[in-house]
A and B are shown apart, each in its own frame.
Chain A
Amino acid sequence: MKHLRLFAAILAGLLISAPVLAQQSGGTLKKIKDSNTIALGHRESSIPFSYYDDKQQVVGYSQELMQKVVDAVKAELKLANLQVKLTPVTSQNRIPLVQNGTVDIECGSTTNNTERQKQVAFSNTIFVIGTRLLVKQGSGIKDFADLAGKNVVTTAGTTSERLIRKMNEDKKLGMNIISAKDHGESFLTLETGRAVAFMMDDALLAGEMAKARRPADWLIVGQPQSREAYGCMLRRDDAPFKKLVDAALTRAMSSGEAERIYKKWFMSPIPPKGLNLNFPISEDVAKTFKNPNDKAFD
Protein backbone atom coordinates (compact mmCIF):
# COMPACT_ATOMS: atom_id res chain seq x y z
CA MET A 1 0.00 0.00 0.00
CA LYS A 2 2.75 2.41 0.87
CA HIS A 3 4.16 1.91 -2.64
CA LEU A 4 0.91 2.99 -4.15
CA ARG A 5 1.06 6.24 -2.26
CA LEU A 6 4.63 6.74 -3.44
CA PHE A 7 3.56 6.29 -7.07
CA ALA A 8 0.75 8.75 -6.64
CA ALA A 9 3.19 11.29 -5.24
CA ILE A 10 5.66 10.84 -8.08
CA LEU A 11 3.00 10.93 -10.74
CA ALA A 12 1.63 14.11 -9.23
CA GLY A 13 5.14 15.55 -9.24
CA LEU A 14 5.56 14.79 -12.91
CA LEU A 15 2.27 16.36 -13.83
CA ILE A 16 2.93 19.47 -11.77
CA SER A 17 6.28 19.89 -13.47
CA ALA A 18 4.60 19.97 -16.86
CA PRO A 19 3.50 23.60 -16.77
CA VAL A 20 7.01 24.61 -15.72
CA LEU A 21 8.23 23.33 -19.07
CA ALA A 22 5.57 25.32 -20.80
CA GLN A 23 6.29 28.72 -19.30
CA GLN A 24 8.98 30.90 -20.70
CA SER A 25 8.64 34.41 -21.89
CA GLY A 26 10.25 37.17 -23.85
CA GLY A 27 11.82 35.09 -26.56
CA THR A 28 15.32 33.88 -27.22
CA LEU A 29 16.82 37.23 -28.17
CA LYS A 30 15.77 38.75 -24.85
CA LYS A 31 17.17 35.76 -23.01
CA ILE A 32 20.49 36.15 -24.84
CA LYS A 33 20.59 39.86 -24.21
CA ASP A 34 19.75 39.55 -20.51
CA SER A 35 22.31 36.86 -19.85
CA ASN A 36 24.87 38.09 -22.38
CA THR A 37 25.20 34.42 -23.29
CA ILE A 38 24.10 32.34 -26.23
CA ALA A 39 23.77 28.61 -25.60
CA LEU A 40 24.72 26.47 -28.56
CA GLY A 41 23.95 22.77 -28.92
CA HIS A 42 26.40 20.62 -30.84
CA ARG A 43 27.04 16.95 -31.58
CA GLU A 44 30.04 14.95 -30.43
CA SER A 45 30.63 12.69 -33.40
CA SER A 46 28.53 13.70 -36.39
CA ILE A 47 31.38 13.86 -38.87
CA PRO A 48 31.75 16.22 -40.71
CA PHE A 49 28.79 18.23 -39.44
CA SER A 50 29.51 18.74 -35.78
CA TYR A 51 32.12 16.86 -33.75
CA TYR A 52 35.17 17.13 -31.51
CA ASP A 53 38.54 17.43 -33.22
CA ASP A 54 41.76 16.13 -31.68
CA LYS A 55 41.99 19.22 -29.44
CA GLN A 56 38.44 18.66 -28.11
CA GLN A 57 37.22 21.72 -29.99
CA VAL A 58 33.81 21.55 -31.61
CA VAL A 59 34.27 21.77 -35.36
CA GLY A 60 32.38 20.91 -38.53
CA TYR A 61 30.26 22.19 -41.34
CA SER A 62 27.16 22.87 -39.23
CA GLN A 63 29.27 24.32 -36.43
CA GLU A 64 30.78 26.90 -38.79
CA LEU A 65 27.35 27.88 -40.07
CA MET A 66 26.17 28.20 -36.47
CA GLN A 67 29.11 30.53 -35.87
CA LYS A 68 27.70 32.76 -38.63
CA VAL A 69 24.46 32.90 -36.64
CA VAL A 70 26.36 33.84 -33.47
CA ASP A 71 28.08 36.68 -35.37
CA ALA A 72 24.69 37.92 -36.56
CA VAL A 73 23.28 37.82 -33.00
CA LYS A 74 26.30 39.76 -31.75
CA ALA A 75 25.80 42.44 -34.39
CA GLU A 76 22.04 42.64 -33.90
CA LEU A 77 22.14 42.94 -30.12
CA LYS A 78 25.37 44.98 -30.14
CA LEU A 79 26.99 42.59 -27.71
CA ALA A 80 30.67 42.56 -28.60
CA ASN A 81 31.48 40.36 -25.62
CA LEU A 82 28.69 37.86 -26.11
CA GLN A 83 29.59 34.68 -24.21
CA VAL A 84 29.14 31.38 -26.02
CA LYS A 85 28.12 28.34 -24.01
CA LEU A 86 28.55 25.02 -25.77
CA THR A 87 26.44 22.03 -24.77
CA PRO A 88 26.86 18.61 -26.37
CA VAL A 89 23.54 17.00 -27.31
CA THR A 90 22.52 13.55 -28.52
CA SER A 91 19.75 12.57 -30.88
CA GLN A 92 17.67 11.56 -27.86
CA ASN A 93 17.97 14.70 -25.76
CA ARG A 94 18.32 17.45 -28.34
CA ILE A 95 14.60 18.27 -28.61
CA PRO A 96 13.95 18.57 -24.85
CA LEU A 97 17.14 20.61 -24.40
CA VAL A 98 16.04 23.13 -26.99
CA GLN A 99 12.56 23.29 -25.49
CA ASN A 100 13.64 23.79 -21.91
CA GLY A 101 16.09 26.53 -22.82
CA THR A 102 19.34 24.67 -22.09
CA VAL A 103 20.34 25.41 -25.66
CA ASP A 104 19.06 28.27 -27.80
CA ILE A 105 20.04 26.81 -31.15
CA GLU A 106 21.34 23.44 -32.30
CA CYS A 107 23.08 23.01 -35.64
CA GLY A 108 24.27 19.47 -36.20
CA SER A 109 22.72 16.78 -38.32
CA THR A 110 19.08 17.16 -37.35
CA THR A 111 16.45 16.38 -39.95
CA ASN A 112 13.65 18.86 -40.32
CA ASN A 113 10.38 16.88 -40.46
CA THR A 114 6.74 17.57 -39.74
CA GLU A 115 6.59 15.55 -36.50
CA ARG A 116 9.47 17.49 -35.03
CA GLN A 117 7.91 20.76 -36.15
CA LYS A 118 5.20 20.14 -33.56
CA GLN A 119 7.89 20.47 -30.88
CA VAL A 120 10.53 22.81 -32.29
CA ALA A 121 11.15 25.21 -35.16
CA PHE A 122 13.75 24.76 -37.88
CA SER A 123 15.95 27.29 -39.63
CA ASN A 124 16.61 27.39 -43.34
CA THR A 125 17.94 24.08 -44.62
CA ILE A 126 21.70 23.79 -44.29
CA PHE A 127 22.19 20.40 -45.97
CA VAL A 128 20.27 17.76 -47.90
CA ILE A 129 21.05 14.07 -47.68
CA GLY A 130 19.83 10.92 -49.40
CA THR A 131 19.51 7.61 -47.54
CA ARG A 132 21.65 4.93 -49.19
CA LEU A 133 23.68 1.80 -48.42
CA LEU A 134 27.28 1.21 -47.45
CA VAL A 135 28.49 -2.24 -48.57
CA LYS A 136 31.73 -4.13 -48.87
CA GLN A 137 33.50 -3.90 -52.22
CA GLY A 138 32.69 -7.04 -54.22
CA SER A 139 29.74 -8.11 -52.03
CA GLY A 140 27.46 -8.10 -55.09
CA ILE A 141 24.90 -5.85 -53.44
CA LYS A 142 23.95 -3.06 -55.78
CA ASP A 143 20.59 -1.91 -54.56
CA PHE A 144 17.93 -2.41 -51.91
CA ALA A 145 16.34 -5.33 -53.78
CA ASP A 146 19.54 -7.36 -53.26
CA LEU A 147 19.00 -7.26 -49.50
CA ALA A 148 16.16 -9.81 -49.39
CA GLY A 149 16.69 -12.33 -46.60
CA LYS A 150 19.92 -10.67 -45.46
CA ASN A 151 21.03 -8.95 -42.26
CA VAL A 152 21.01 -5.17 -42.60
CA VAL A 153 22.18 -2.66 -40.00
CA THR A 154 21.05 0.89 -39.43
CA THR A 155 21.40 3.33 -36.55
CA ALA A 156 18.59 3.43 -34.00
CA GLY A 157 16.48 6.56 -34.05
CA THR A 158 17.15 7.57 -37.63
CA THR A 159 14.83 7.98 -40.57
CA SER A 160 16.70 5.17 -42.27
CA GLU A 161 15.56 2.82 -39.53
CA ARG A 162 11.95 3.67 -40.22
CA LEU A 163 12.30 3.48 -43.98
CA ILE A 164 13.98 0.10 -43.97
CA ARG A 165 11.48 -1.38 -41.51
CA LYS A 166 8.63 -0.13 -43.64
CA MET A 167 10.24 -1.41 -46.83
CA ASN A 168 10.70 -4.80 -45.18
CA GLU A 169 6.99 -4.94 -44.31
CA ASP A 170 5.69 -3.54 -47.59
CA LYS A 171 7.82 -5.59 -49.95
CA LYS A 172 8.11 -8.69 -47.73
CA LEU A 173 11.88 -8.74 -48.17
CA GLY A 174 12.47 -10.87 -45.06
CA MET A 175 15.48 -8.81 -43.98
CA ASN A 176 16.78 -9.02 -40.43
CA ILE A 177 17.21 -5.44 -39.33
CA ILE A 178 19.74 -4.57 -36.64
CA SER A 179 19.38 -1.20 -34.93
CA ALA A 180 22.78 -0.20 -33.58
CA LYS A 181 23.24 2.48 -30.94
CA ASP A 182 25.30 4.92 -33.01
CA HIS A 183 26.95 5.20 -36.41
CA GLY A 184 30.26 3.83 -35.13
CA GLU A 185 28.54 0.73 -33.82
CA SER A 186 26.59 0.32 -37.04
CA PHE A 187 29.80 0.39 -39.01
CA LEU A 188 31.37 -2.12 -36.61
CA THR A 189 28.39 -4.40 -37.24
CA LEU A 190 28.98 -4.10 -40.98
CA GLU A 191 32.74 -4.49 -40.69
CA THR A 192 32.53 -7.66 -38.58
CA GLY A 193 30.21 -9.27 -41.10
CA ARG A 194 27.09 -9.29 -38.94
CA ALA A 195 25.32 -7.30 -41.60
CA VAL A 196 25.90 -7.06 -45.35
CA ALA A 197 24.80 -3.44 -45.65
CA PHE A 198 24.54 -0.30 -43.53
CA MET A 199 21.70 2.06 -44.44
CA MET A 200 22.17 5.69 -43.48
CA ASP A 201 22.41 9.28 -44.71
CA ASP A 202 24.93 9.28 -47.54
CA ALA A 203 27.07 12.07 -46.08
CA LEU A 204 27.39 10.19 -42.79
CA LEU A 205 28.24 6.98 -44.69
CA ALA A 206 31.02 8.88 -46.42
CA GLY A 207 32.23 9.95 -42.96
CA GLU A 208 32.26 6.35 -41.68
CA MET A 209 33.98 5.18 -44.83
CA ALA A 210 36.70 7.77 -44.46
CA LYS A 211 37.31 6.61 -40.89
CA ALA A 212 37.63 2.93 -41.89
CA ARG A 213 40.97 1.19 -41.77
CA ARG A 214 40.87 0.73 -45.54
CA PRO A 215 38.38 3.17 -47.07
CA ALA A 216 38.81 1.55 -50.51
CA ASP A 217 37.13 -1.64 -49.22
CA TRP A 218 33.77 0.10 -48.95
CA LEU A 219 31.24 1.40 -51.42
CA ILE A 220 28.10 3.56 -51.22
CA VAL A 221 25.35 2.10 -53.43
CA GLY A 222 21.60 2.08 -54.01
CA GLN A 223 18.86 4.40 -55.13
CA PRO A 224 18.33 7.05 -52.41
CA GLN A 225 15.19 6.05 -50.49
CA SER A 226 14.46 9.50 -49.19
CA ARG A 227 15.83 12.97 -49.18
CA GLU A 228 16.04 14.85 -45.91
CA ALA A 229 16.71 18.44 -45.09
CA TYR A 230 19.00 19.19 -42.17
CA GLY A 231 18.23 22.40 -40.33
CA CYS A 232 19.19 24.18 -37.14
CA MET A 233 16.72 23.65 -34.30
CA LEU A 234 15.18 26.59 -32.45
CA ARG A 235 12.33 27.02 -30.03
CA ARG A 236 8.89 27.28 -31.63
CA ASP A 237 6.92 30.48 -32.02
CA ASP A 238 9.89 32.78 -31.71
CA ALA A 239 9.67 34.68 -34.99
CA PRO A 240 12.29 37.39 -34.27
CA PHE A 241 15.01 34.87 -33.46
CA LYS A 242 14.12 32.62 -36.38
CA LYS A 243 14.19 35.58 -38.73
CA LEU A 244 17.66 36.53 -37.55
CA VAL A 245 18.95 32.96 -37.88
CA ASP A 246 17.46 32.52 -41.34
CA ALA A 247 18.86 35.83 -42.52
CA ALA A 248 22.35 34.91 -41.31
CA LEU A 249 22.20 31.55 -43.10
CA THR A 250 20.78 33.09 -46.28
CA ARG A 251 23.55 35.66 -46.28
CA ALA A 252 26.18 32.92 -46.00
CA MET A 253 24.55 30.99 -48.84
CA SER A 254 24.16 33.86 -51.29
CA SER A 255 27.62 35.29 -50.61
CA GLY A 256 29.34 32.02 -51.51
CA GLU A 257 30.53 31.64 -47.94
CA ALA A 258 28.45 28.48 -47.44
CA GLU A 259 29.99 26.91 -50.52
CA ARG A 260 33.45 27.69 -49.23
CA ILE A 261 32.56 26.04 -45.91
CA TYR A 262 31.13 23.07 -47.82
CA LYS A 263 34.37 22.59 -49.74
CA LYS A 264 36.37 22.87 -46.55
CA TRP A 265 34.46 20.03 -44.85
CA PHE A 266 33.49 17.76 -47.71
CA MET A 267 36.18 18.20 -50.35
CA SER A 268 39.40 18.68 -48.38
CA PRO A 269 41.24 16.89 -45.55
CA ILE A 270 39.50 17.39 -42.20
CA PRO A 271 40.48 16.72 -38.59
CA PRO A 272 41.16 14.57 -36.67
CA LYS A 273 42.99 12.32 -39.13
CA GLY A 274 43.24 14.53 -42.19
CA LEU A 275 40.70 12.49 -44.13
CA ASN A 276 39.06 13.77 -47.26
CA LEU A 277 35.41 12.73 -47.66
CA ASN A 278 35.44 13.55 -51.39
CA PHE A 279 31.74 14.19 -51.29
CA PRO A 280 30.90 16.63 -54.10
CA ILE A 281 28.08 19.10 -53.64
CA SER A 282 24.78 17.47 -54.62
CA GLU A 283 22.11 18.97 -56.81
CA ASP A 284 19.83 19.30 -53.78
CA VAL A 285 22.40 21.17 -51.72
CA ALA A 286 23.23 23.45 -54.65
CA LYS A 287 19.51 24.21 -55.03
CA THR A 288 19.23 25.05 -51.35
CA PHE A 289 22.16 27.43 -51.56
CA LYS A 290 20.53 29.13 -54.54
CA ASN A 291 17.07 29.34 -52.94
CA PRO A 292 17.40 29.23 -49.17
CA ASN A 293 14.20 27.86 -47.56
CA ASP A 294 13.05 26.02 -44.45
CA LYS A 295 10.88 23.37 -46.11
CA ALA A 296 10.91 19.80 -44.84
CA PHE A 297 10.77 16.98 -47.37
CA ASP A 298 8.06 15.10 -45.46
Chain B
Amino acid sequence: MGYHWNWGIFLAQVPSGGTSYLGWMLSGLMTTLALSLSAWIIALVIGSAMGVLRTVPNRWLSGIGALYVELFRNIPLLVQLFIWYFVLPELLPERLGNAYKEINPLLQQFTAAMICLGLFTGARVCEQVRSGIDSLPRGQRLAGLALGLSGPQTYRYVLLPMAFRIIVPPLTSEFLNIFKNSAVASTIGLLELAAQGRQLVDYTAQPYESFIAVTLTFMLLNALIMSLMHRLEARVRVPGQGGHHG
Protein backbone atom coordinates (compact mmCIF):
# COMPACT_ATOMS: atom_id res chain seq x y z
CA MET B 1 0.00 0.00 0.00
CA GLY B 2 0.95 3.62 -0.11
CA TYR B 3 2.37 5.96 -2.62
CA HIS B 4 5.39 5.27 -4.75
CA TRP B 5 7.31 8.57 -4.87
CA ASN B 6 9.47 9.20 -7.90
CA TRP B 7 10.82 12.71 -8.34
CA GLY B 8 13.14 11.47 -11.06
CA ILE B 9 10.11 11.15 -13.32
CA PHE B 10 10.66 14.71 -14.57
CA LEU B 11 13.89 13.63 -16.25
CA ALA B 12 12.35 10.59 -17.95
CA GLN B 13 11.75 10.73 -21.70
CA VAL B 14 8.14 11.17 -22.84
CA PRO B 15 6.74 8.20 -24.81
CA SER B 16 6.59 10.09 -28.11
CA GLY B 17 10.27 10.94 -27.65
CA GLY B 18 12.23 14.12 -28.27
CA THR B 19 11.91 15.62 -24.80
CA SER B 20 11.55 14.83 -21.12
CA TYR B 21 8.56 15.41 -18.88
CA LEU B 22 10.41 18.46 -17.59
CA GLY B 23 10.43 19.69 -21.19
CA TRP B 24 6.66 19.35 -21.25
CA MET B 25 6.34 21.35 -18.03
CA LEU B 26 8.62 24.07 -19.39
CA SER B 27 6.68 24.30 -22.63
CA GLY B 28 3.51 24.53 -20.53
CA LEU B 29 5.08 27.34 -18.51
CA MET B 30 5.97 29.17 -21.73
CA THR B 31 2.39 28.88 -22.96
CA THR B 32 1.09 30.13 -19.60
CA LEU B 33 3.46 33.11 -19.77
CA ALA B 34 2.64 33.94 -23.40
CA LEU B 35 -1.09 33.62 -22.79
CA SER B 36 -1.14 35.62 -19.56
CA LEU B 37 1.09 38.42 -20.81
CA SER B 38 -0.74 38.86 -24.11
CA ALA B 39 -4.11 38.76 -22.33
CA TRP B 40 -2.78 41.29 -19.80
CA ILE B 41 -1.93 43.73 -22.59
CA ILE B 42 -5.48 43.44 -23.93
CA ALA B 43 -6.86 43.85 -20.41
CA LEU B 44 -4.79 46.98 -19.74
CA VAL B 45 -5.63 48.66 -23.04
CA ILE B 46 -9.36 47.85 -23.06
CA GLY B 47 -9.70 48.22 -19.29
CA SER B 48 -8.08 51.66 -19.26
CA ALA B 49 -10.14 52.89 -22.20
CA MET B 50 -13.38 51.61 -20.67
CA GLY B 51 -12.42 52.90 -17.23
CA VAL B 52 -11.94 56.38 -18.66
CA LEU B 53 -15.25 56.11 -20.51
CA ARG B 54 -17.02 55.28 -17.26
CA THR B 55 -15.90 58.58 -15.73
CA VAL B 56 -16.54 60.99 -18.61
CA PRO B 57 -19.46 63.37 -18.16
CA ASN B 58 -21.50 61.86 -20.98
CA ARG B 59 -24.27 59.37 -20.28
CA TRP B 60 -23.89 57.42 -23.51
CA LEU B 61 -20.16 57.01 -23.26
CA SER B 62 -20.22 56.01 -19.59
CA GLY B 63 -23.12 53.67 -20.45
CA ILE B 64 -20.88 51.79 -22.88
CA GLY B 65 -18.30 51.31 -20.14
CA ALA B 66 -20.93 50.16 -17.64
CA LEU B 67 -22.40 47.68 -20.12
CA TYR B 68 -18.99 46.22 -20.82
CA VAL B 69 -18.29 45.72 -17.13
CA GLU B 70 -21.69 44.17 -16.44
CA LEU B 71 -21.35 41.77 -19.33
CA PHE B 72 -17.81 40.55 -18.77
CA ARG B 73 -17.68 40.65 -14.99
CA ASN B 74 -20.96 38.86 -14.38
CA ILE B 75 -20.53 35.80 -16.60
CA PRO B 76 -18.34 33.03 -15.20
CA LEU B 77 -14.94 32.89 -16.88
CA LEU B 78 -15.35 29.26 -17.89
CA VAL B 79 -18.67 29.99 -19.59
CA GLN B 80 -17.11 32.92 -21.43
CA LEU B 81 -14.29 30.71 -22.65
CA PHE B 82 -16.71 28.12 -23.99
CA ILE B 83 -18.66 30.84 -25.74
CA TRP B 84 -15.53 32.21 -27.40
CA TYR B 85 -14.24 28.81 -28.38
CA PHE B 86 -17.31 26.72 -29.13
CA VAL B 87 -20.22 29.06 -29.77
CA LEU B 88 -18.78 32.04 -31.59
CA PRO B 89 -17.45 30.13 -34.62
CA GLU B 90 -20.96 28.70 -35.10
CA LEU B 91 -22.48 32.20 -35.11
CA LEU B 92 -20.10 33.47 -37.79
CA PRO B 93 -21.13 33.19 -41.43
CA GLU B 94 -20.58 29.57 -42.37
CA ARG B 95 -17.61 30.14 -44.67
CA LEU B 96 -15.79 32.31 -42.18
CA GLY B 97 -16.56 29.90 -39.35
CA ASN B 98 -15.27 26.94 -41.32
CA ALA B 99 -12.14 28.80 -42.36
CA TYR B 100 -11.46 29.57 -38.68
CA LYS B 101 -12.03 25.97 -37.67
CA GLU B 102 -9.55 24.74 -40.23
CA ILE B 103 -6.60 26.75 -38.94
CA ASN B 104 -4.16 25.10 -36.56
CA PRO B 105 -6.16 24.08 -33.45
CA LEU B 106 -3.42 25.34 -31.16
CA LEU B 107 -3.79 28.81 -32.63
CA GLN B 108 -7.59 28.62 -32.31
CA GLN B 109 -7.31 27.67 -28.66
CA PHE B 110 -4.69 30.29 -27.93
CA THR B 111 -6.58 33.17 -29.56
CA ALA B 112 -9.88 32.19 -27.95
CA ALA B 113 -8.25 31.98 -24.52
CA MET B 114 -6.29 35.21 -25.00
CA ILE B 115 -9.32 37.25 -26.05
CA CYS B 116 -11.49 35.71 -23.36
CA LEU B 117 -9.00 36.25 -20.56
CA GLY B 118 -8.12 39.73 -21.82
CA LEU B 119 -11.70 40.96 -21.93
CA PHE B 120 -12.64 39.31 -18.64
CA THR B 121 -9.70 40.87 -16.82
CA GLY B 122 -10.25 44.10 -18.75
CA ALA B 123 -13.63 44.49 -17.04
CA ARG B 124 -11.91 44.25 -13.68
CA VAL B 125 -9.11 46.63 -14.69
CA CYS B 126 -11.81 49.02 -15.91
CA GLU B 127 -13.31 49.15 -12.42
CA GLN B 128 -9.90 49.78 -10.87
CA VAL B 129 -9.20 52.62 -13.28
CA ARG B 130 -12.61 54.12 -12.64
CA SER B 131 -12.20 53.97 -8.88
CA GLY B 132 -8.70 55.43 -9.22
CA ILE B 133 -10.03 58.40 -11.15
CA ASP B 134 -13.01 58.78 -8.82
CA SER B 135 -10.73 58.79 -5.81
CA LEU B 136 -9.06 61.99 -6.96
CA PRO B 137 -10.42 65.22 -5.48
CA ARG B 138 -12.93 66.81 -7.85
CA GLY B 139 -10.82 69.93 -7.82
CA GLN B 140 -8.17 68.27 -9.95
CA ARG B 141 -10.47 67.86 -12.92
CA LEU B 142 -11.83 71.39 -12.46
CA ALA B 143 -8.33 72.81 -12.14
CA GLY B 144 -7.30 71.10 -15.37
CA LEU B 145 -10.26 72.51 -17.22
CA ALA B 146 -9.76 75.94 -15.67
CA LEU B 147 -6.21 75.95 -16.98
CA GLY B 148 -7.69 75.75 -20.45
CA LEU B 149 -6.95 72.06 -21.04
CA SER B 150 -9.51 70.16 -23.10
CA GLY B 151 -11.31 67.13 -21.62
CA PRO B 152 -8.91 64.56 -23.13
CA GLN B 153 -5.93 66.71 -22.15
CA THR B 154 -7.16 66.87 -18.55
CA TYR B 155 -7.22 63.06 -18.50
CA ARG B 156 -3.83 62.77 -20.20
CA TYR B 157 -1.93 65.29 -18.11
CA VAL B 158 -3.78 65.57 -14.81
CA LEU B 159 -6.10 62.68 -13.93
CA LEU B 160 -4.57 59.52 -15.38
CA PRO B 161 -0.97 60.05 -14.20
CA MET B 162 -2.32 60.26 -10.66
CA ALA B 163 -4.98 57.56 -10.98
CA PHE B 164 -2.63 54.92 -12.38
CA ARG B 165 -0.12 55.46 -9.59
CA ILE B 166 -2.84 55.04 -6.99
CA ILE B 167 -4.17 51.80 -8.42
CA VAL B 168 -0.89 49.92 -8.71
CA PRO B 169 -1.66 47.65 -5.70
CA PRO B 170 -5.10 46.48 -6.93
CA LEU B 171 -3.70 46.10 -10.44
CA THR B 172 -1.05 43.82 -8.99
CA SER B 173 -3.81 41.49 -7.78
CA GLU B 174 -5.39 41.46 -11.20
CA PHE B 175 -2.02 40.76 -12.77
CA LEU B 176 -1.57 37.80 -10.42
CA ASN B 177 -5.11 36.65 -11.11
CA ILE B 178 -4.58 36.54 -14.84
CA PHE B 179 -1.79 34.00 -14.42
CA LYS B 180 -3.93 31.82 -12.21
CA ASN B 181 -7.01 32.24 -14.38
CA SER B 182 -5.03 31.25 -17.45
CA ALA B 183 -5.33 27.67 -16.21
CA VAL B 184 -8.94 27.58 -17.44
CA ALA B 185 -7.54 27.41 -20.96
CA SER B 186 -6.69 23.78 -20.22
CA THR B 187 -10.42 23.03 -20.47
CA ILE B 188 -10.43 23.77 -24.19
CA GLY B 189 -7.29 21.71 -24.71
CA LEU B 190 -4.57 24.37 -24.64
CA LEU B 191 -1.47 22.74 -23.18
CA GLU B 192 -0.49 25.37 -20.63
CA LEU B 193 1.15 24.62 -17.30
CA ALA B 194 -1.86 23.09 -15.54
CA ALA B 195 -2.73 20.98 -18.58
CA GLN B 196 0.84 19.71 -18.87
CA GLY B 197 0.71 18.81 -15.19
CA ARG B 198 -2.47 16.86 -15.75
CA GLN B 199 -0.99 15.22 -18.82
CA LEU B 200 2.00 14.16 -16.78
CA VAL B 201 -0.36 12.47 -14.31
CA ASP B 202 -2.09 10.63 -17.13
CA TYR B 203 1.15 9.40 -18.62
CA THR B 204 3.06 8.49 -15.49
CA ALA B 205 0.46 7.88 -12.76
CA GLN B 206 2.53 10.15 -10.44
CA PRO B 207 -0.10 12.71 -9.42
CA TYR B 208 1.56 14.16 -6.33
CA GLU B 209 4.90 15.02 -7.97
CA SER B 210 3.09 16.63 -10.85
CA PHE B 211 0.62 18.70 -8.83
CA ILE B 212 3.28 19.78 -6.36
CA ALA B 213 5.49 20.92 -9.25
CA VAL B 214 2.63 22.87 -10.85
CA THR B 215 1.67 24.44 -7.52
CA LEU B 216 5.21 25.50 -6.72
CA THR B 217 5.72 26.91 -10.22
CA PHE B 218 2.60 29.04 -9.94
CA MET B 219 3.63 30.22 -6.48
CA LEU B 220 7.15 31.09 -7.60
CA LEU B 221 5.82 32.89 -10.63
CA ASN B 222 3.44 34.92 -8.51
CA ALA B 223 6.09 35.69 -5.90
CA LEU B 224 8.32 36.98 -8.68
CA ILE B 225 5.55 39.16 -10.05
CA MET B 226 4.71 40.44 -6.59
CA SER B 227 8.26 41.50 -5.90
CA LEU B 228 8.50 43.23 -9.29
CA MET B 229 5.24 45.02 -8.69
CA HIS B 230 6.32 46.07 -5.19
CA ARG B 231 9.39 47.64 -6.70
CA LEU B 232 7.27 49.41 -9.31
CA GLU B 233 4.90 50.55 -6.61
CA ALA B 234 7.72 52.04 -4.56
CA ARG B 235 9.08 53.88 -7.57
CA VAL B 236 5.84 55.46 -8.73
CA ARG B 237 4.35 56.15 -5.31
CA VAL B 238 2.86 59.61 -5.08
CA PRO B 239 4.88 61.43 -2.42
CA GLY B 240 2.76 62.18 0.62
CA GLN B 241 -0.04 59.84 -0.50
CA GLY B 242 0.57 57.21 2.16
CA GLY B 243 0.45 54.02 0.18
CA HIS B 244 1.88 50.67 0.93
CA HIS B 245 4.73 50.18 3.35
CA GLY B 246 6.67 47.08 3.32
Contact = CB atoms under 8 A, between A and B. Distances in A.
B189 A23 contact: no
A227 to B, nearest CB: 17
Secondary structure dominating the interface of A: mixed
Contact of A151 (B2, B15, B102, B186): B102
A91 B201 CA distance: 10
A24 interface: yes
Nearest to A118: B4
Interface in B1-58: 1-5, 15-18
Interface stretch (A55-63, A79-87, A132-140, A174-182): A174-182
Contact of B2 (A23, A158, A177, A194): A23
A12 interface: no
A156 B202 contact: yes
Contacts of A237: 1
Contact of A92 (B15, B189, B198): B198
B82 to A, nearest CB: 9
Interface residues of A, number: 45
A183 interface: no
A122 B41 CA distance: 50
B144 interface: no
Given A181-B187, A192-B101, A92 B16 contact: no
A234 B84 CA distance: 41
A236 interface: yes
Contacts of B18: 169
A287 B4 CA distance: 33
Interface stretch (B128-136, B156-164, B175-183, B204-212): B204-212
A39 B186 CA distance: 31
B1 A235 contact: yes
A188 B87 CA distance: 11
Residue from B89, B109, B201 whose CB has the most chain A CB atoms within 10 Å: B201
Given A169-B17, A192-B89, A192-B101, A92 B207 contact: yes
Contacts of A176: 104-106
B3 A21 contact: yes
Residue from B5, B15, B189, B219 whose CB has the most chain A CB atoms within 10 Å: B189
Interface of A: 3, 7, 10-11, 14, 18, 21-24, 91-93, 95-96, 99, 115-116, 118-119, 151, 156-158, 161-162, 165-166, 168-169, 176-181, 188, 192-195, 235-238
5 contacts: A7-B219, A24-B1, A156-B189, A157-B198, A181-B187
Given A22-B2, A188-B86, 12 more contacts: A7-B219, A11-B216, A21-B3, A23-B2, A91-B202, A115-B205, A156-B198, A156-B202, A168-B16, A177-B105, A180-B188, A180-B189
